[in-house]
């Protein structure tokens, strides 16, 4: 072998090693703990889901996944923090996708981050169904009777929501739009105080997440009229869907997913997508989620998860524009 051949081989080896260096660096990820930001206070659905994901990811990734609760501004503070974080896979968002999507429209021009441009979906993990409930004083034992009562009593039926951009608010606004009812919105800072006033009769109706309303339904303090999913659900098997009750294509759920800052390396996104997908398929994890009222979705590829988030954004933008919903109402 000539000196030129040796030099050529040495240079080829060096170039090959250089080309492989980024992949090798990514293969080492994660090298230290990961932060999973929950953009709400502890105890809510997003926090509970995040803790299940974090606990199981810590085991599969071999690094601790730490929950960081950053509540405030309807989830915008925590989401903004992640959107502006370094896109290295060490800061993630446990997102309430439906709420983020509605707030993106309601607060457009005010939010400091762009949900579509600054964050990327890893997996849409699951959803929490909603149920229309009324105080027992309302003379309606079915969804059809609720519609009739609302139409016959304009301005008399009050409905609660847990916040301006919450799925609870959106479900009630869809109801108002589709049936053409004149109702009064009463906004609360969270489901807790809204449910307290509903049980007490200060407000008369609410579309609430099933886990939040289930105990009061079972105790007879609230009457369940219809769930907002396409099919009946295991938690309330005897309660019909809105679709069964005569209103087609009515679907509102509170959807949750894990997101990362835009530009996070594809290898890291693929690893996270794979590991979270495994969690979603694990029977024990599914049972954990279901105990919290969360129905797990089938795993998706990153592109599919991103498409689902985009569809959620587009859908609620359309609903908000058509109904004229305002953030401060």
Q: What is the mean pLDDT of the chain?
A: 89
Q: Indicate whether 8 belongs to any domain.
A: no
Environment class of 28 (CB within 10 Å of its CB; exposed 0-12, middle 13-18, buried 19+) = exposed
Residue-wise pLDDT for 273-313, tens only, equals: 999 999 999 999 999 999 988 999 999 999 999 999 999 99
Domain contains 9: no
**pLDDT score, position 273:** 97
Instruction: Quote the CA–CA distance of 226 and 178 in Å, as a whole number.
Output: 15
* Same domain membership, residue 286 and residue 274: yes
In a domain, 93, yes or no: yes
The pLDDT tens digits for 203-237 are 999 999 998 899 999 999 999 999 999 999 999 99
Domain hosting 154: range is 129-227
% the chain with pLDDT above 70: 91
- Residue 68 lies inside a defined structural domain of this protein: yes
Phi-psi region of 62 (alpha: psi -120 to 50; beta: other; left: phi over 0): left
Residues 121 and 134 in one domain: no
Residues ≥6 apart with Cβ < 8 Å to 50: 36, 38, 67, 94
| pLDDT tens per residue across span 229-268 | 999 999 999 999 999 998 888 999 999 999 999 999 999 9
At 121-159, the pLDDT tens digits run 999 999 999 999 999 999 999 999 999 999 999 999 999
Instruction: Read off the CATH number of the domain in which 311 is found.
Output: 3.40.190.150
| Whether residues 38 and 122 fall in one domain | yes
Shared domain for 57 and 100, answered yes or no, is: yes
Length of the chain: 329
Could you identify the residue written with the tokens 């390396």?
Answer: 265
Residue 328 lies in a domain: no
Domain shared by 199 and 122, yes or no: no
Residue 134 domain flag: yes
CATH number for the domain harbouring residue 208: 3.40.190.10
* pLDDT at position 129: 95
What does the pLDDT look like over 82-93, one tens digit per residue? Answer: 999 999 999 999
User: Residue 301 has what pLDDT?
Assistant: 94
Number of domains in the chain: 2
Point out the domain boundary residue: 209, 227, 245: 227
Write down the number of H helices and E strands in the chain.
12, 10
Is the confidence at residue 38, as pLDDT, over 70? yes
């Amino acid at each position: 072998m000539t000196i030129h051949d040796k030099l050529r081989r040495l240079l080829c080896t060096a170039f090959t090693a250089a080309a492989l260096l980024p992949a090798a660096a990514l293969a080492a990820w994660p090298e230290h703990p990961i932060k999973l930001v929950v953009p709400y206070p502890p105890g809510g659905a997003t926090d509970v889901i995040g803790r299940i994901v974090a606990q199981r990811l810590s085991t599969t990734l071999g690094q601790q996944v730490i929950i960081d609760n950053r509540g405030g501004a309807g989830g915008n503070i925590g989401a903004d923090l992640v959107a502006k974080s370094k896109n290295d896979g060490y800061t993630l968002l446990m997102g309430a996708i439906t709420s983020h999507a509605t707030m993106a429209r309601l607060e457009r021009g005010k939010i400091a981050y762009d949900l579509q441009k600054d964050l990327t979906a890893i997996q849409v993990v699951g959803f929490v169904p909603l149920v229309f409930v009324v105080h027992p004083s309302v003379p309606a034992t079915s969804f059809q009777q609720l519609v009739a009562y609302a139409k016959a009593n304009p301005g008399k039926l009050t409905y609660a929501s847990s916040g301006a951009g919450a799925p609870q608010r959106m479900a009630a606004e869809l109801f108002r739009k589709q049936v053409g009812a004149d109702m009064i919105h009463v906004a609360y800072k969270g489901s807790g105080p809204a449910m307290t006033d509903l049980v007490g009769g200060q407000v008369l109706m609410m579309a609430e997440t099933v886990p939040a309303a289930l105990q009061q339904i079972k105790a007879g303090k609230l009457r369940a009229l219809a769930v907002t999913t396409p099919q009946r659900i295991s938690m309330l098997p005897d309660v019909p869907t809105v679709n069964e009750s005569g209103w087609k294509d009515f679907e509102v759920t509170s959807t949750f997913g894990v997101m990362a800052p835009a530009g996070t390396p594809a290898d890291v996104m693929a690893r996270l997508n794979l590991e979270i997908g495994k969690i979603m398929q694990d029977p024990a994890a599914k049972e954990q989620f279901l105990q919290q009222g969360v129905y797990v979705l089938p795993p998706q590829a990153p592109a599919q998860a991103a498409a689902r988030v985009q569809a959620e954004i587009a859908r609620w933008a359309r609903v908000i524009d058509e109904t004229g919903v305002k953030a401060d109402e």
